[in-house]
Structure formats: structure tokens, C-alpha cells
Structure 1
Amino acid sequence: MATGKSVNLRVRPVMSADLSFPVDGVISRQSPVMLGSRVEGLDVEVLYAMLGQTVEGDSSRLLWDSKRIFSYLFNVAGQAAGHGVTLLSRLRSASEAADLDRAVMMRQNAYLTSYSPEVLSEVRRVYYEDPSDEWAVRHRLLKAVEDDAGLIHHGLTDAYRRRGWSNKVIEETTSISDNKATQYSGAGNIQFEGFTDTKSGGYEFRHPSGENDLRYHQSRAAVRQEFLNAWRMSEMCRYGDTTFSNEIGAIDRSIRKLQSAYIDTFLFTPTGGIVTGVFHGQGDYVRAGEPVFRVEDDGTVYLVGTVKYRGMLRIGTMLEVSTTLFEAAGAAPITVAGEIVAVRGHDSVSEQWDLLMICDNRTAAGDVILPLNYNFDFESTSVEVTAP
């Protein structure tokens, strides 16, 4: 099998990213010496999957408040502080942190007062578990309230009718006083009698029968609404395994949005690599999607370009590329092996191939073999097919 030559083969990273914030903001914290630093990757989907966790031994309190999220993002892998931590940059986020922590605290209150097993047990007892209870809210209790309201209404209506006040506006008040007194003097006595009839006006008129009707109708409407509320609560209890878990779940999902909004104020890379570009620094205002860092992974690379080779090259063909870096005199050649993942014939030249080859760029000791963006020299580079 013939040996090939590199025409313009060069090294490109398989994984690279221009990192940006998904929201606008001002960079509040960022190391000024990040360029050239090796950083670790963070799989944010793992963090998203943990956001609903509660504190161990306390189901009322969500674990992932702003402090916990910051701690995780700052050093998820337990590395020493400094270069290599997962957190690259962060925006001012006091407002987002306050909104998140407030929601976490209110969720705890809601759980303790409405959704804990103890509370739900009592709610079921009152509204659902014993429907034969004659004083159950849904049955006799509200009916008794309505009966009492009717009793008061009809009693007052009869009294107003006897007084002639039915559908009558009262324009003045009347008070009657009948006084009798007897004075004893010796064997006789003197008796005094007095009668006072007082009428008063000059104030807001009253319509007692109309006011009685109004109170009665308002009471009936209120009782109907209370009955509907009690019925709804009993139905909530009937399907409690679904309804109450849905309600606390809805609260948790609204908090998840706040957690995600807080996470969006941090910048991290999905894969490890080298910081090869820094476009903004601490104090800069950045817009959503505007690149702040470029990170390139040099662990696995593509060799991409044109190779001169007399023979057939296909996807899946294994190659070994040997070269002397920078054509240094006396330097030992290095060899990298990889697989062709894309190939096609070069235009108008039958012995040349445009290809893309993926290969591991680490030695057994973990050292980098080829620098990123390195261009292979035609004279000092050879290409061998090791497997079809």
C-alpha cells in the first residue's frame, strides 16, 4: 500500500464553543487571567434534574436555593479554587436570587400549612372521609346556616307586618313613656300618672323590611358560595392523590423557572477545554448571545484538509499520520491514529482526497500531542492506511 502525503492537513477541535449568557446583564465577577486556562465542563442537564430535591429530612424545604446553586456551579467537581473551576463568569443577580429565595420560603409555608401529610389528613377528615356525619360542612352545617338565616328573615318580616312597616320607609322614630308614681302620706296616698310621646327626625331614613330582605338574600348567596367551595374541596379530597400533588407540583415548577433564570446569570462550558478567546471582562455590559469566551477541547481533534494518496479512501478507513512538528531538526517524529469520518475526491486531481479524520490527541500520560490549528508540512508528514 502506498504512503500518502499531507497537502494542507490541519488540526481542528471536535468540541468548541463561543460561550455567551442567555440574558442581558453586567458582568460582576470574572478572573482577568482566564486566557489559556484549562476549564472543566459542566452538564447543566444534571443540575436541572436535581432542582426539585428537598432538604434531607424536611420535605417542606427545597434544597436548591440561590446559595446552593452558586456553590454547585462554582466548583461542581470539588476542585481547588482558581483556574480550572467550572464557573467562568457571572452577572449581577441579586434580584434573581431574592426572587428565588422568597419563592422557596413561601413554598415551605404553603407546604406546612396546606400540603403536609398532617394537614391533608385533617382536610380529608373534615370534607370527605365521613360523608354521613350530619355536621359535615358539605351537608348539614351549611344547611343549618341557611335555615337560621331564613328563620331570622321570616321572623322579622312578620314583626314588620304587624307594625305596618312592610315595604315602608321609616322617616322618624317614636318613643312612648308611661310613668306612674304613688306617694304615701299618713293614712292616705297621692298617685301621680304621666305619659310622654316623643318623635324624632332629621336623620337618614330607614327601610327595615327592605334591609331585612337584602341581608337574607346576601346570606343565601354567601351560603351557596360556601356550599360550592365545600363541594369543590370534597372533590379535591376524593382525588387527593392527584389534585394536591398537582398543586404543590405547580408551585415547584414556578420555582423551577426562577431557579433556571438564576442559573442563566452564570457562564460555564458544557465541555472541558482551553480558553482560547476572551471578549468581555468584569464590569462590561453584555447582551444575550454575545460571546464572552471561546473554549476549545484539545483532547479529541479533527485532522481536516487534503491528502495525496494513491489508493481508495472510505469512511471508516483507519489512518496513521506521522510528522515532525515544526520541521525541527533532529526532533523525533510523532504519530497520531484515527478514523476517516468524511471523505470525497478532490476536484480534478485523481490522487488527492478531501477528508476529515477524528483522532485522540492525548498520550498515555495525558499530554497533548498536536496543538490546535497546527498545519502539517508536506515534506515532513506521511499518511499510512492501517485498516480498510
Structure 2
Amino acid sequence: MALSARVVTLKSAARLSADLAFGDTGMIDDIEHVVGLGTRVAAYSPRASLYSRLGEPEVGPDSKPTGRLVFDSRRLRAELLPKAAFVLENEVAAAELDQAILARQNEWLTLYRYADDLFTEIDKASQSKLASLTLLRGLVDDHHNQIEKAYSDEEALNDPLKLIDNPKHDPAIRPTTINTVKLSGVGTVEKGSDMQHEGLGFNGGVPWTHELQHQVYVAGKKTAAGSWEPYTDPEPALVAQQITSIVQSDGITHPRLENHMRHERMVVDLSDELLAASVYSKRIPYLKQIWKNELDGIDLEIRKLQLAYIGTFLFSSFDGSVTATFKQRGDRAKLGEPVARVENDSTLLLSGQVVCAAAPVIGQPIKVVTKQVYGDNASPSLTLNGSVVQVRGVDGLAGRWNVIFEVANSGAVKIPAGYDFDPDPRYTTVSIG
């Protein structure tokens, strides 16, 4: 059975009401369509309508990706500006976003576009390098061992010429330089002679008497008795002579120790290279995933800039009308500072105090009938249907209750927000249940 309630006070308010504020600080942009009092605004949610598309790649006229993302500042502005209530000046945010998208395209053209081909080439090159370094490491050891063996060869001690290079008796030696000079000149020989003497070679033989000078003529030959006698039938011939000199420097070297030192240095260097190559080879099976993660990371950085740019546009989350403005074009808006109030009066909250025999219960249906809405006999009567959404006891013994009713306000004639209902029961009645 419905309870009859008498109104003590009852006032309407829009069920949906919000003070719009930016999530950043900046100057309100001087654009023509910025809303004013009484302007109707439509609900828009970037999260629901746009966020899922922010990472969309751009496709060129050839239906192939360009490496850019579709939503740069120009495309976002075209998408958002018609739906925005207010906009902050955002040229810097736009430039940072576009710069990041261009950098992303450069990275994509440099690496990610050819990821499959590069992976194959890198895999082959890594395996080849690792094999070469392993082989080189073995050659370094072999080179060292062969030199060590040469310096420890017992037979070298019996060879006076090898003692210069292989002084096992004294490993610290002075470096030796061997110079060879070839001298040539013209001499005379006996026609038809085939003699060879002291390493001198030509078309015939010639005795070696002294170092040759240019245009030196040897006019005779030694006899068996050791005396000289002239040629009976001489002829000129080219004579060549080779002279070898051995010079030791004043510096002291230690070839065997230096061999060990060079070997250890090469082993250290090659060990570093081998380690780096081995570690990198372990990454190669995961290179495609690594590259994908890197590209996704770039896209996430761009997404941050896209979201920051979107944050310079202010939207209403529901359809409604602007009922108050706190900032105008050219004003500076601080983070969280209200810029405008938007209200939707299609559903009202009626708050006040009523008197009834029993406590209203949340969720109970209610009906509010008001006559002469505008205070004259010509004013229409309205019936508002809804439910109890809040109850607070004020004086239970007297049957007084603070209540809030939620009612639909969608008729041809509407109750305005902020309307005070007449408490006279001749004009306003409330039934609960």
C-alpha cells in the first residue's frame, strides 16, 4: 500500500552534472567554437572511441606500410576539435608528437622493415665470425709454440749462424741487422773461358782480386803456381759481386720473453672478442622478438605523447548543456581548475524533507504530482515517476525524513534544475510505494 508523504522542502537538481577541468596547465586556445552558456554539448570519450586506434600504422598508396603511425597531431586535431568544449594551446605538444613519429619511421626504414632478411644475414655472419675467432685463437697458440720451439732447439747451438737468432745461452741479445749489397762492373776475360771463381758468375770466369768498381778491368789470371799472367785473347764481360755485412744495435731485446708477452696480449684480446661474439650469438634466436619489443617500446613512447596531446582537448562525458563558465578564450587554466559546468536534466534528483507515517525505503517507487508548475492557473500539471535513492532520519517520532528521489524528466514540459516545489499539499503531493 502506498504511503502518502507531505512535502516540507523539495528542490530539483540535475542527476548528471560535472565541472569540466583540464588535466594539465595551459592557455585556453582562441578558437571560434569554444562553448558558452546554454551551449549543447555531446558526450565524447577518447578512451572508448580513439585509444584503441592510436597505434594504427599508416599505409601508403601502394598499400604497403610507410613506417609512420596514422594519428599524428594533424589527424588527432581533425578528429578531436569538433567534439571538444575547450582546447589548450598545444603547438609544442604537437611538435613533440610529430617528431617522435618521424623518428619512428626512420627506425622502421633502417631496421624493422627488413627484419627477416637482416636476421638471416646476422645469423650467418655471427656463426662465421665465431668460427674465425676460434680458428684464430688456435693459430695464435700454434704461432707461439713454434717460435718457442725454434728458440729451444738444441741443434741451433751447433750452428754459428743460428746463434744470432737463437741464443739459448743468453736470451737477452742485441738485435742484428744483415745487409746485402750487390756490386757490378765490367771486367775482361779470356775468350771461350768457362771458369767460375769466388761466387762470381758471367759468361766465363774471372779471378777475384778486390772489390769491383765501375769500369774496373781485370787483365790477367792466376796460374797454378800463384803468379799472375795476362790473358792471351781477352774480351770485356759484366762482372757481379755480392757483399754481406752484419751489424748489431746497441739495444737489448729478449725474443723469447717478447714472444710470450705478445702471445698473452693476443690471447686477452681474442678472449674478449670471443666472449662478446659468444654472448651475441646467444641473442640471435631471440632477435626478432627483441626487435619487436623495441618497436613496441617506441610505439608506447609515441602513445604517451598522443595521450598528452589528447589531454589538451576538453570533452563532456555526457550529453548536456553548459550552465556555467569559469574561463574564457585566452585565460590560463590550471590543472584541475573548473572551466565550465555541464548538466543533463533528463533525470532529476529531488532532495528535501518529507513527513510520512513510516520510513521510506531505498528502492521504493515514488510519484510526485505538482500542479501549477509556474505558479498560475495556466501552468500545466506534471507527474514525475522515480524511486527513493537516499533516506536519512531527522525526527522519527514526528515522521520527518530527509530524502532524495530520482525521477525522469523527459516530458514535453520539464522541471528545470534548481526548481523549488511548493510544499502546499494542494499543489504538490508525494506517494511512496
TM-score between both structures, scaled by the size of structure 1: 0.75
Relative to structure 1, is the Cα distance of residues 174 and 384 closer, same or farther in structure 2, using a 3 angstrom cutoff? same
Larger radius of gyration: 2
Q: What letter corresponds to residue 102 of structure 2 in structure 1?
A: M
Which runs of structure 2 are paired with 1:1-388 in the superposition (5 Å)?
4-29=5-30, 34-46=36-48, 47-55=50-58, 57-58=63-64, 60-75=67-82, 86-116=83-113, 119-120=115-116, 123=119, 127=123, 136-137=124-125, 139=127, 141-151=129-139, 154-155=142-143, 163=165, 177-184=179-186, 187-188=235-236, 209=259, 210=261, 213-234=264-285, 236=286, 245-309=292-356, 313-315=360-362, 316-347=364-395, 350-363=398-411, 369-379=414-424, 381-385=427-431, 388=433
Q: What letter corresponds to residue 403 of structure 2 in structure 1?
A: L
Relative to structure 1, is the Cα distance of residues 17 and 159 closer, same or farther in structure 2, using a 3 angstrom cutoff? same
* 1:4–1:382 contact (8 Å) kept in structure 2: no
Q: What letter corresponds to residue 97 of structure 2 in structure 1?
A: L
* 2:28–2:330 contact (8 Å) kept in structure 1: yes
User: For 1:5 and 1:326, how far apart are their aligned partners in 2?
Assistant: 20
SS at match of 2:414: coil
SS at match of 2:344: strand
* 2:28–2:89 contact (8 Å) kept in structure 1: yes
User: For 1:295 and 1:212, how far apart are their aligned partners in 2?
Assistant: 82
* 2:28–2:332 contact (8 Å) kept in structure 1: yes
Relative to structure 1, is the Cα distance of residues 320 and 124 closer, same or farther in structure 2, using a 3 angstrom cutoff? farther
Q: Single out whichever of 251-260 and 55-64 deviates more from structure 2.
A: 55-64
Q: What letter corresponds to residue 55 of structure 2 in structure 1?
A: G
After superposition, the C-alpha distances for 1:51-84 in whole angstroms (9 at most, x for unaligned) are 2333365554432222222222223xxxxxxxxx
Q: What letter corresponds to residue 115 of structure 2 in structure 1?
A: V
Query: Number of aligned pairs?
Result: 356
Q: What letter corresponds to residue 50 of structure 1 in structure 2?
A: R
User: For 1:18 and 1:221, how far apart are their aligned partners in 2?
Assistant: 64
Give the superposition deviation at 1:114: 4.1
After superposition, the C-alpha distances for 1:231-250 in whole angstroms (9 at most, x for unaligned) are 1112x16xx6x655544433
Give the superposition deviation at 1:374: 1.6
Identical amino acids, percent of aligned pairs:
27
SS at match of 2:79: helix
User: For 1:124 and 1:178, how far apart are their aligned partners in 2?
Assistant: 55
Give the superposition deviation at 1:225: 0.5
Q: Single out whichever of 30-39 and 264-273 deviates more from structure 2.
A: 30-39
User: For 2:379 and 2:343, how far apart are their aligned partners in 1?
Assistant: 27
* 2:5–2:429 contact (8 Å) kept in structure 1: yes
* 2:366–2:387 contact (8 Å) kept in structure 1: yes
* 2:20–2:314 contact (8 Å) kept in structure 1: yes
Give the superposition deviation at 1:383: 2.3
After superposition, the C-alpha distances for 1:331-350 in whole angstroms (9 at most, x for unaligned) are 22233222221224442663
SS at match of 2:52: helix
Q: What letter corresponds to residue 151 of structure 1 in structure 2?
A: L
* 1:22–1:264 contact (8 Å) kept in structure 2: yes
Give the superposition deviation at 1:142: 0.9
User: For 2:57 and 2:378, how far apart are their aligned partners in 1?
Assistant: 63
Q: What letter corresponds to residue 7 of structure 1 in structure 2?
A: V
User: For 1:280 and 1:354, how far apart are their aligned partners in 2?
Assistant: 36
Give the superposition deviation at 1:188: 4.1
Give the superposition deviation at 1:221: 0.9
- Structure 1: runs of 5 or more not aligned: 76-85, 128-135, 202-206
After superposition, the C-alpha distances for 1:11-35 in whole angstroms (9 at most, x for unaligned) are 1121222222222223234556622
* 1:150–1:216 contact (8 Å) kept in structure 2: no
